[in-house]
Amino acid sequence: MPKNTTTKPDDLQVLAALERKILWLASWMIHNANHLRESSDGLKVGGHQASSASLATIMTALYLDVLRPQDRVAVKPHASPIFHAIQYLLGKQTRERLEAFRGYKGAQSYPSRTKDADDVDFSTGSVGLGVAQTLFSSLTQDYVRAHGWSLDRPEGRMVALVGDAELDEGNIFEALLEGWKQGLRNCWWIIDYNRQSLDAVVREGLWARYEQLFQNFGWNVVIVKYGSLQQAAFKEPGGETLRRWIDNCPNQLYSALVFAGGAAWRKRLNDEIGDQGDVSRLIERRSDDQLAALMNNLGGHDLPSVLDAFHNADPEKPTCFICYTVKGFGLPFAGHKDNHAGLMTPQQMETFRQAMGVRPGHEWDKFEGLSLATDQLQSFLDRVPFSSGGARRLGAPTLDVPDSLPVTIQPVMSTQTGFGAILNEIGREDSNFARHIVTTSPDVTVSTNLGPWVNRRGLFARQAMADTFKSEHIPSTFNWEFSPKGQHIELGIAEMNLFTLLSALGLSHTINGERLLPIGTLYDPFIARGLDALNYACYQDARFMLVATPSGITLAGEGGAHQSIAEPLIGLAQDGLASFEPAYVDELAAIMRWAFSYMQKDGDAAPSEQNWLRDETGGSVYLRLSTRPVEQIQRTMTPELRQQIVDGAYWHRKPGPNCQVLVAYTGAVAPEAIEAVGLMAEDRRDVGLLAITSADRLNAGWTAAQRARERGLVHARSHIERLLGDVPAHCGIVTVLDGHPATLAWLGAVAGHRVRPLGVEHFGQTGSLAELYRHYGIDANAIVAAAQAVAPGRPIRHLKALP
Ligand X SMILES: Cc1ncc(C[n+]2csc(CCOP(=O)(O)OP(=O)(O)O)c2C)c(N)n1
Between 72 and 78, CB nearer to ligand X: 78
Between 34 and 439, CB nearer to ligand X: 34
Between 192 and 363, CB nearer to ligand X: 192
State in angstroms the smallest separation of the CB of 34 from ligand X: 17
Sheet holding 688-692, edge to edge: 649-653, 688-692, 661-666, 732-737, 754-758
Alpha-carbon distance 787 to 673, whole Å? 11
Q: How many degrees, rounded to 5, is the angle at CA 113 between CA 110 and CA 115?
A: 70
For 600, half-sphere exposure in the C-beta direction (CA atoms, 13 angstrom radius) is 19
State in angstroms the smallest separation of the CB of 78 from ligand X: 5
Tell me if 335 contacts Mg ion by CB under 5 A. no
Question: Which member of 27, 54, 251, 694 binds ligand X (CB under 6 A)?
Answer: 54
Tell me if 196 contacts Mg ion by CB under 5 A. yes
Question: Which member of 36, 66, 73, 127 binds ligand X (CB under 6 A)?
Answer: 127
- Stretches 91-99, 101-109, 196-204, 755-763: which one binds ligand X (CB under 6 A)? 196-204
Question: Which residues make beta-bridge pairs with 196?
Answer: 201
Between β-strands 517-522 and 482-483, what pairing exists: parallel, antiparallel or unpaired? unpaired
Q: What residues numbered 158-177 form the site for Mg ion, per CB under 5 A?
A: 163-165
Between 60 and 439, CB nearer to ligand X: 60
Helix segments in 711-799, DSSP class H = 719-725, 742-745, 747-751, 769-776, 780-790
Contact call for residues 352 and 333 (beta carbons, < 8 A): no
Largest Cα separation within the chain, whole Å, is 106
Tell me if 126 contacts ligand X by CB under 6 A. yes
- Cα of 711 vs its chain's centroid, Å: 33
Tell me if 252 contacts ligand X by CB under 6 A. no
Question: Which member of 93, 109, 194, 666 binds Mg ion (CB under 5 A)?
Answer: 194
Between 130 and 701, CB nearer to ligand X: 130
Contact call for residues 568 and 579 (beta carbons, < 8 A): yes
- Pick what 642 binds: ligand X, Mg ion, none; C-beta below 5 to 8 Å, kind-dependent: none
Distance from the first to the final alpha carbon of the chain: 73
State in angstroms the smallest separation of the CB of 489 from Mg ion: 33
Tell me if 444 contacts ligand X by CB under 6 A. no
Tell me if 520 contacts Mg ion by CB under 5 A. no
Between 26 and 139, CB nearer to Mg ion: 26
Distance set, CA 624 to CA 114, 669, 738 (Å): 27, 13, 11
Between 165 and 313, CB nearer to Mg ion: 165
Tell me if 255 contacts Mg ion by CB under 5 A. no
Q: How many degrees, rounded to 5, is the angle at CA 718 between CA 715 and CA 720?
A: 135
Tell me if 198 contacts ligand X by CB under 6 A. yes
State in angstroms the smallest separation of the CB of 553 from ligand X: 31
Contact call for residues 280 and 238 (beta carbons, < 8 A): yes
Residues binding ligand X: number (CB under 6 A) = 18
Q: Which H or E run contains 547?
A: strand 545-548
State in angstroms the smallest separation of the CB of 204 from ligand X: 15
- Stretches 162-170, 292-300, 314-322, 627-635: which one binds ligand X (CB under 6 A)? 162-170
- Pick what 262 binds: ligand X, Mg ion, none; C-beta below 5 to 8 Å, kind-dependent: none
Tell me if 165 contacts ligand X by CB under 6 A. yes
- Stretches 22-30, 143-151, 157-165, 180-188: which one binds ligand X (CB under 6 A)? 157-165
Between 165 and 790, CB nearer to ligand X: 165
Residues of the chain by 3-state class (helix, strand, coil), percent to 5? 45, 10, 40
Tell me if 325 contacts Mg ion by CB under 5 A. no
Tell me if 109 contacts ligand X by CB under 6 A. no
Orientation angle between helical segments 262-273 and 251-260, nearest 10 degrees: 130
- Stretches 121-129, 189-197, 280-288, 330-338: which one binds Mg ion (CB under 5 A)? 189-197
Between 250 and 389, CB nearer to ligand X: 250
Tell me if 78 contacts ligand X by CB under 6 A. yes
Q: Which amino acid is at 432?
A: N
For 503, half-sphere exposure in the C-beta direction (CA atoms, 13 angstrom radius) is 32
Residue nearest to ligand X (CB): 163
Write phi, then psi, for 619 (nearest 5 degrees).
Answer: 170, -170
DSSP assignment of 120-180:
-SB---STTHHHHHHHHHHHHHHHHHHTT-STTSPPPPEEEEEETGGGG-HHHHHHHHHHH
Tell me if 174 contacts ligand X by CB under 6 A. no
Q: Which H or E run contains 650?
A: strand 649-653
Q: Please report, as ranges, the residues that interact with Mg ion according to CB under 5 A.
A: 163-165, 194, 196
Q: Please report, as ranges, the residues that interact with ligand X according to CB under 6 A.
A: 47, 51, 54, 77-78, 126-127, 163-166, 192, 194, 196-198, 327, 340
